[in-house]
A and B are shown apart, each in its own frame.
Chain A
Amino acid sequence: MVWIIIVIALAITMGSGARLGAAIGLTGLIILHFQAGGLTMLAVPAVWNVFSDYTLAAVPMFVYLGEILLRGGVSDRLYSALSPLFYRLPGRLMQTNVWVCMLFGAVSGSSSATAAAVGAVAYPELGRRGYNKPRVLGSLAGAGVLGLMVPPSLSLLIYGAMMDVSVGKLFLAGILPALMITAMFSLYVGVYAVVHPESVPAETSKPSWGEVFRGLVDIWPLPVLIFAVLGTIYSGLATVTEAAGLGVVVAIIMGFTWGTLTVGKLWEAIISGSRIVAAIVFVILGTLILAQAVANQGLPRQVFEMVSSAGLSKYEVMLVLTLIYFFLGCFFDGLSLMIMTLSIVFPLMISLGFDPVWLGVIITLLIEIGAITPPVGVNLYVLLAISRDEVTLPEAAKATIPYWGILILAIVILTAFPEIALYLTQFI
């Protein structure tokens, strides 16, 4: 009966365009009322206890951090400074897109913020130099996912806070997979440029090593910011929440002294951040109520028993889960999808013997594939807006397919070799 309620509620939500948070929350309330003997009073403490949890305070601060960097001209400086270095690799500025997205991801927790920040600088520049515009957009949409993969990551943070998994370990576990994916993206861009030399505009003047060095020196505040956010966590100097606060302060100082931040832009960043937070939080609110109902009805145990009786191996379950995420990722925003599914997926996968830290990394990758999959594909839409409709959605989606494939390959590699994600976590 509970499953029927969930399926009907999902169908009505998708059919009516209801707010996800309200629809999910109401589903939870219906289950609590009709299936759990009128226990709707459990909904409010479930929400209040999480909403007033100190650990989650890092969420708005990481959102503010990304918005401040976006408006503070940091991506502009970073792109200009690193262009001479990656100009020497095959694919030239397409390589810069990939590596700058990775570096920007190390100070921002969101993939759409990364795609927007780097895209706003890179797209006009590469378009002016004659690069193929859909391919430029594809590289930015694909590499933008590194924003959520490279710590600090909003999805890993919310996953850790909701499932009581060490956020510090999750952040560490994201580092090697992110570097691996960056290298795979870079390899693809390089190989494509060698096989299709016409895809890269003719070389004008090669930057000297002096220019490369000056570029690297010019971005000295960036390591300071990365240390403020990540260094303080791993050296034990600060908790994740404190590191997020410190990151905001350093980003503001950096924006005013090194970038182009003004008081007006800072307020704009905070307001914009509050809007993003509101969108995420409404879904969390609804999901907390549904999770309470689901736990009350023992659904995770039912799913586990169902899987056990079906005789599926843990990897077959992983495959089914991946397909479900691919399907739902076409319709749901990534963070909402993760938050909505965790209450059933997490206990199931842990009971099958998967590591909770590894699972956090894999779920982040799965939801990131959704960020570049139409019709929702948040990164695609962010970049289409930047291109001012010079590129169509089908063109952008087609150019993103190789990056999509690389992300799937990364999931296969990480499933076969989970130690890639878990290796660094043994040091804390």
Chain B
Amino acid sequence: MSEQSPRRQVSRPVAWMSAIGMYASAAAGILLTFFVVLSAIMRYFIGAPFHFSDELVGLLLATTFLLALPNGLIDNSHLRITILADRLPRLGRIIAKTVANSILVVFAAVFLFESYNYTAVSYKYNSRSEMAEILLYPWMGLMMLVSALIILIVVDNIFQIVRELISQRDSK
């Protein structure tokens, strides 16, 4: 069941970073559409197909997919099954939320580690795409960037909640 809860509470710099990611994802999506249509026109109407377009579209697709992910955490738009967690008592909900956040952080941390290794190999061998010879490691690096941002969002969110609880206690 997808969650309809309000936006996740994060600090302004983190919110900006994830929003920039979302806009960059949308821009990559627009560029991707542009290149797909342009390459079709060049292929079918001008008879001069681009040799780079399919590979560039693939890389722009990865950018579209990856950069949209962090903002989904702040918007709470990623799919979740909340049917049981929502019915738990207060303490149970806190435990469930802690488990859910831990799953997210551990997953992102392992993915960050493995994507670092993968990107490092690509960097070491200066690997490029087959036809257009586009350098691949900067694009692969997006996986690391997104994983790191996901961890940052969760940690920052916890920090903001704790800070708010402390200030509430102090004001009492």
With A60-B29, A278-B78, A375-B1 as contacts: A52 and B62 at CB distance below 8 Å? yes
Interface SS majority for chain B? helix
Closest to A276 in B: B77
- Set A29, A281, A376: member contacting B65, Cβ < 8 A: A281
Some 24 contacts from A to B, beta carbons below 8 A apart, are A13-B103, A15-B84, A15-B85, A17-B86, A17-B100, A20-B79, A22-B108, A40-B114, A51-B61, A54-B58, A57-B36, A60-B32, A238-B44, A248-B33, A248-B37, A271-B22, A277-B25, A277-B29, A281-B65, A282-B69, A282-B72, A282-B78, A376-B2, A378-B2
Contacts of B55 in A (CB 8 A): 54
Cα A245 to Cα B61 with chains together (Å): 13
> Can you name the residue of chain A whose Cβ is closest to the Cβ of B139?
A52
**A-facing residues in B31-50 (Cβ within 8 Å):** 32-33, 36-37, 39-40, 44
| Closest A residue, CB atoms, query B27 | A270
Decide if A31 is an interface residue (CB 8 Å cutoff): no
Q: For chain A residues 5-57, which have a beta carbon within 8 Å of chain B?
A: 12-23, 25-26, 29, 40-41, 43-45, 47-48, 51-54, 56-57
Q: Are A245 and B96 in contact (CB under 8 A)?
A: no
Q: Which residue of A lies closest to B108 (CB)?
A: A22
Q: Report the minimum CB–CB distance from B58 to chain A (whole Å).
A: 4
With beta carbons under 8 angstroms apart, the residue of A25, A242, A279 that contacts B111 is A25
Q: Which residues of A are found within 8 Å of B84, using beta-carbon distances?
A: 14-15, 17
Number of interface residues of B (CB under 8 A): 61
- B interface with A by C-beta (< 8 Å): 1-3, 22-23, 25-26, 29-30, 32-33, 36-37, 39-40, 44, 54-55, 57-62, 64-66, 68-69, 71-73, 75, 77-86, 96-97, 99-100, 103-104, 106-108, 110-111, 114-115, 117-118, 139-140, 143
Chain A residues, CB < 8 A from B115? 44
Are B71 and A278 interface neighbours, CB within 8 A? yes
Residues from chain B with a CB closer than 8 A to the CB of A242 are: 36-37, 39-40
CB contacts (< 8 Å) of A16 on chain B: these are: 85, 96-97, 99-100, 103
Contacts of B33 in A (CB 8 A): 61, 64, 245, 248-249
Verify A17–B82 contact, CB threshold 8 A.
yes
Docked Cα-Cα span, A372 to B160, in Å, equals 38
Query: Given the complex, which residues of B lie within 8 Å of A244, measured CB to CB?
Result: 36
Name A252's closest neighbour in chain B (CB-CB). Answer: B33
A-B pairs with CB below 8 Å: how many? Answer: 200
Q: Mark A223-252, 1 if CB is under 8 A from B, else 0.
A: 000000000000001100110111011000
Residue in A26, A54, A279 whose CB lies within 8 Å of B78: A279
Q: A248-B33, A274-B25, A274-B26 are in contact. Are A336 and B111 (CB under 8 A)?
A: no
B32, A18: Cβ atoms closer than 8 Å: no
Contact A21 B78 (CB under 8 A): yes
Which residues of chain A have C-beta atoms less than 8 A from B79's C-beta? Answer: 19-21, 279, 282-283, 332-333, 336
The reply on A331 being an interface residue by CB < 8 A is: yes
Interface residues of A in 243-279 (CB under 8 A from B): 244-246, 248-249, 267, 270-271, 273-275, 277-279
- Residues in A with CB closer than 8 Å to B54 are 54
The answer to whether residues A48 and B140 also contact, given A41-B117, A278-B69 and a CB cut-off of 8 A, is: yes
Give A91 to B107 CA distance when docked, in angstroms.
Answer: 52
Q: B114 contacts A44, CB within 8 Å? A: yes
Residues of the B chain whose Cβ atoms lie less than 8 Å from the Cβ of A378: 2
B29 engages A29 (CB within 8 Å): no
| A16-B100, A278-B77, A281-B65 known; A376 vs B143 contact (CB < 8 Å) | no
Whether A48 contacts B65 by the Cβ 8 Å rule is no
B103-A17 in contact (CB<8A): no
